[in-house]
Amino acid sequence: MTKTARILLVDDQEMMREALAQHLASQSGFDVVASVPNHERAIEAAREHHPDVALLDIEVPGLDCFVAAREIQQQSPSTRIVFLSAFCRDHYIEQALEVGAAGYIVKGEEPGVLHQAIETVGDGGRFFSEAVENRLVLGDDGLTVRSPGATRAASLTQRELEILRYIAVGMSKKEVAALVDLSVRTVDAHVRNIMDKLDLHDRVELARFAIHEGISPQ
């Protein structure tokens, strides 16, 4: 890179977040301008600092990371999004591409991979872990997941997927309603629609389905 990359880091595990922030800050050409525990705080930090690169952990509880990515891009259009995840799941990759992610890194890679990703993305390119890149194909519509399998999850709208993810991790309908700025009645209607579409009948079945499909982390 020809300039210092200003980085926003999001991870709910404090020790991991601080360790990664310190590691990145020690590297030439990297400046960690904000290190926060959730995506709500990430939106605030993006508005304040306008980082070059935002590293968003997909599995952070609370506000959905893909919803947060859209909001960050609205608050700071020049910020490029790189998702971090312990999982290489088609459903995650598809959503990352839908929100215009510049990268997707699978946790456990060598530190140099993340360094290269930040440098590449900061210079305007795109970077994906090899496992993710192997799932991608470049077509007329841009990058897409290679031969994604048709699943019941494909019948859900983006709003339904978002609500399913929150319900599956144990949030109440009231908590979900407050988070997505909908009434409890509307959330309840969405949950009923999700159950009807998936032919599922309670929250336990919803959670199992979400984990199996990669909609919610285990």
Stated as kind and residue range, the H or E segment containing 81 is strand 80-85
Are 130 and 161 in the same domain? no
66 and 111 within one domain = yes
Interval 58-73 mean pLDDT: 94
Instruction: Give the tokens for residue 184.
Output: 């409890």
On whether both 96 and 33 belong to a single domain, the answer is yes
- CB-CB contact of 186 with 147 (8 Å): no
User: Per the structure, how many domains does the chain have?
Assistant: 2
H helices then E strands: how many in the chain?
A: 10, 8
Q: Is residue 133 part of a domain?
A: yes
Give me the residue label for tokens 């952070």: 60
**Shared-domain flag, residues 108 and 127:** yes
Q: Residue 218: inside a domain, yes or no?
A: no
The residue from 127, 145, 163 where one domain ends is: 145
Q: Is 169 exposed, middle or buried (0-12, 13-18, 19+ CB in 10 A)?
A: middle
My answer on whether 157 and 141 are in the same domain is no
Q: Which residue did the predictor score with more confidence, 2 or 103? A: 103
Q: Answer whether 213's CB lies under 8 Å from 154's CB.
A: no
109 and 12 assigned to the same domain:
yes
Q: Which whole number is the average pLDDT over 143-160? A: 73
3-state secondary structure of 171: coil
pLDDT for residue 149 is more than 60: no
CATH of the domain at 158: 1.10.10.10
Based on the domain organization, do 178 and 123 belong to the same domain? no
Last residue of a domain, one of 111, 145, 179: 145
Summarize pLDDT for 177-215 with one digit per residue, the tens.
Answer: 999 999 999 999 999 989 988 888 888 889 888 887 778
For Cα atoms 133, 148, 187, give the angle at the middle one, nearest 5 degrees.
110
Asked if residue 201 is part of any domain, the answer here is: yes
Do residues 86 and 130 share a domain? yes
Nearest to 13 by CA among 5, 21, 24: 21
| Judgement on whether residues 66 and 107 belong to the same structural domain of the protein | yes
Note the pLDDT tens digit of each residue in 23-48.
999 999 999 999 999 999 999 999 99
In a domain, 71, yes or no: yes
User: Is there a single domain that holds both residue 11 and residue 70?
Assistant: yes
Domain boundaries, position 88: 5-145
**Are residues 85 and 177 both part of a single domain?**
no
Which pLDDT band holds residue 158 (cuts at 50, 70, 90)? confident
Residues 64 and 136 in one domain: yes
Residue 42 CA: distances (Å) to CA of 58, 90, 160, 162: 13, 25, 23, 18
| Residue of higher predicted confidence among 89 and 11 | 11
Q: How far apart are CA 96 and CA 99, in angstroms?
A: 5
Kindly report the backbone phi and psi dihedral angles of residue 147, in degrees, each rounded to the nearest multiple of 5, phi listed first: 40, 60
Residue finishing a domain among 145, 171, 194: 145
